[in-house]
Structure 1
Amino acid sequence: MTDVSDEKPVPVSVLIPTRNEESNLPRCLDAVAGWADEVLVVDSQSTDDTIEIAEGYGAEVIQFEYDGGWPKKRQWALDTYDFDNEWILLLDADEILLDPIKSEIAEAIQTDEYDGYWLRFQLHFLGRPLRHGGFDLWKLYLFRHGKGRYERRFEGQDESMSDIEIHEHVVVDGEVGRLQHPVRHENWNSLYRYIEKHNEYSEWEATLYHEGDSGAVEPDLFGNQAQRRRWLKDLLVRVPGFPLITFLYHYVLRLGFLDGKPGFIYCVLKGVQRFHAKAKWYELEARE
Structure 2
Amino acid sequence: MNSEVSVVILTYNESKHIKRCLERAFSVASQVYVVDSFSTDDTVKIAEAMGGEVYQHRWPGNQAAQFNWALEHLPIRTEWILRLDADEYLTDELQDEITTKLPYLSDDITGVSFKRRHIFMGKWVKRGTYPVTLLRLFRRGKAVCEQRWMDEHIQLLEGNLVNFEHDFVDHNLHNIAWWTSKHNNYATREAIEILDIELDLIGRAQVSGSLNSQATAKRSRKEQYSKQPLFWRSFAYFIYRYFLKGGFLEGKEGFLWHFLQGWWYRTLVDSRIYEIKKSCGNDPKLIIDYIDKHYQINLTPEKSLVEA
On whether the aligned pair clears a TM of 0.5, the verdict is yes
The answer to which of 236-245 and 62-71 deviates more is 62-71
User: Do structure 1's residue 37 and structure 2's residue 30 form an aligned pair?
Assistant: yes
List per-residue Cα deviations over 1:75-124 (Å, max 9, x = no partner): 11011111131100011111111222112212333222401111111111
- Give yes or no for the alignment of 1:131 onto 2:126: yes
Deviation at 1:34, TM superposition (A): 5.2
Q: Deviations over 1:209-230 (max 9, x none)?
A: 223366559999xx81112222
More deviation, 173-182/201-210: 201-210
- C-alpha root-mean-square deviation of aligned residues, in Å? 2.4
Say yes or no: does 1:66 pair with 2:55. no
The question of 1:17 aligning with 2:10 is answered: yes
Assess, with a 3 A threshold, how the Cα gap between structure 1 residues 219 and 27 changes in structure 2: closer, same or farther: closer
Q: CA deviation at 1:197?
A: 2.1
Alpha-carbon distance in structure 1 between the residues aligned to 2:146 and 2:110: 17
Aligned mates of 1:184, 1:66 — CA distance in 2: 25
Match of 2:168 among 170, 183, 191: 183
CA deviation vs aligned residue, 1:241-284 (integer Å, no higher than 9, x gap): 11111211111111111111111111111211111111111222
Q: 1:80 to 1:93 in 2, by over 3 A?
A: same
Given the alignment, which residue of 151, 160, 168 partners 1:167? 151
> Could you list the runs of 5+ residues in structure 1 that have no partner in the other structure?
1-9, 154-164
* Partners of 1:55 and 1:70 in 2: CA distance: 22
Quick check: 1:236 aligned with 2:225? yes
Determine whether 1:246 maps to 2:237: yes
Report the Cα distance in structure 1 between the residues aligned to 2:119 and 2:64, rounded to whole angstroms. 30
Number of the residue aligned with 1:266: 257
Rounded Cα–Cα distance in structure 1 between residues aligned with 2:190 and 2:96: 36
Q: Percent identity?
A: 34
Paired with 1:168 and 1:136, the residues of 2 have a C-alpha distance of 17
Aligned length: 266
Structure 2 gap segments, 5+ residues each: 281-308
Structure 2 distance, partners of 1:198, 1:148, is 28
Q: More helix per residue: 1 or 2?
A: 2
Q: 1:244 to 1:68 in 2, by over 3 A?
A: same
Paired letter, 1:134 = T
Question: 2:91 aligned to 98, 119, 125, which one?
Answer: 98
Runs of 4+ in structure 1 off by over 6 angstroms are 217-220
